[in-house]
Chains A and B, each alone.
Chain A
Amino acid sequence: MAENTISFVFPAFISDYRDDPSREVPVFHEVFQEYLSKAAGLAGSELLAFHPESNPLLQNELLNQYISYIYGCSCAGILLNSGIKPVMTAGYSMGIYASLYSTGSISFETGLLFIQKAYEAIRSTVPGDHYGMCGVIGLSEKDIREIAVHYNLNLAIVNCNSDHSFIIAGDSFHINVFLLKAREEGALHARSLGVSIPYHTNLLTEASKLLAETVSTADVHAPGIPVISVLSQEMITDAEQVRREVVKNICHPFNWLATQLKMFNSGVRIFTECGPSQALRKNSKFIPGGGKFVNWNTLVNTL
């Protein structure tokens, strides 16, 4: 397996632990607990109650994001310590923070700070129960736009996962109407993502300005490994680009399909998902010519 063609990719949130590769990596528990303890000291002791089976914290948007970040940092640390170095990394949505940590651009503590400050900024500018997000599979972008126009729905397509899989955000009532109509129009799958924040929409523009105050003074370095922007598919190679990306990330749509294809076209042949849910691996099956996913435990255990 040629190690110089690997990319680490980081999910935003955790949906379940059914396929968690960490069970096959004995050192993971110890590494994870170390990061968890550090995070609990900085971000809140409720994190210490986390357990993947009995208390997975999946329903709390902020805690879920912290756990996903801690998992991603633990996973990347183990891979790097095993001598597996990627040629580039990418973070799906809020996976950006673990992606940056894995490249040495930010410290673990700075990543936690960005998550915390982004959440606080969003909560201070966007009402808690007015918005939502949903995923739809089986309709084209044109179909989705036609539903939104026909029913006068104030929604935004915030990500394209593949030609037939999209993420949509906006007013929660409009999201619910959209879900009903999308099913009627033939969506094979349409469901709420269970979040109350319209990530990647211009509704978070004010929040991004508040986040910029923290990011502008934070300790940020040039990534030691290129990070690909999921917003523009450009390579992020210096500290100022990192700062701009972190600020812009919360209020701009992204394109995962284009990002994965850009990585493949840049020479990446193997992707490994630094998370427990394997959602990006599953999605990859619908990206023709997009490369192969290998579970991170397999990479660690085959060395």
Chain B
Amino acid sequence: MAKITENTRTEVREIVLAFFAEECEADKSQIKDNTSIIKDLDGDSLMFLELIEIFKKKYNLDIELKTIGKYAVKHPVETIGQLIEMQMLIIELENRLLELEK
């Protein structure tokens, strides 16, 4: 289980914003926590998957995609802020993510 520091949070936010700015050809400074990934950025599930893969590689995470999928069914991600929070949980809990449900 990784320890989340303020640096981690800053790094995750930076990666998420840079990713969507590039993928969606958006102005990074205009992407806020309440920006809708689908409505405002025209994002899709492949982008979500790509981002997960980026974080899995960067933090050497041990987590199955379906674990994230099961969590996302109960906690749908619509905004950039929600996505960042979910990525933080994934980094912190990895395959124990679903234990939050118990």
A contact residues vs B (CB 8 Å cutoff):
18, 137-140, 143, 164, 183-189, 282-283, 285-286
Q: Is the CB of B67 within 8 A of A186?
A: yes
Contact between A186 and B68 (Cβ–Cβ < 8 Å)? Answer: yes
| Cβ-defined contact, B45 with A137, below 8 A | yes
Residue pairs across A and B with CB atoms within 8 Å: the count is 52
Total contacting residues, chain B, CB less than 8 A = 16
- A-B contacts, 28 of them at CB < 8 A, read A18-B42, A138-B65, A138-B68, A138-B69, A139-B69, A140-B66, A164-B49, A164-B65, A183-B69, A183-B73, A184-B70, A185-B66, A185-B69, A186-B64, A186-B66, A187-B66, A188-B45, A188-B48, A188-B49, A188-B65, A188-B68, A188-B72, A189-B45, A189-B46, A282-B46, A286-B46, A286-B50, A286-B53
Question: Residue of A at shortest CB range from B67?
Answer: A186
A139–B48 alpha-carbon span in the complex (Å): 14
Task: Report the minimal beta-carbon distance from B86 to chain A, rounded to whole angstroms.
Answer: 12
Which single residue of chain B is at the shortest CB-CB distance from A182?
A: B69
**Chain A residues within an 8 Å CB radius of B65:** 138-139, 164, 186, 188
Interface of B toward A, CB cutoff 8 Å: 42, 45-46, 48-50, 53, 64-70, 72-73
**Closest chain A residue to B66 by CB distance?**
A186
A-B complex: 4 closest residue pairs judged by Cβ atoms = A186-B66, A186-B69, A189-B45, A186-B70
CB-defined contacts of A139 to chain B, threshold 8 Å? 65-66, 69
* Assembled-state Cα–Cα distance A259/B47 (Å): 23
Given A138-B65, A139-B65, A186-B65, A285:B70 Cβ within 8 A: no
Query: In the bound complex, how far is the Cα of B101 from the Cα of A186, in angstroms?
Result: 14
> How far apart are A292's CB and chain B's nearest CB, in angstroms?
15
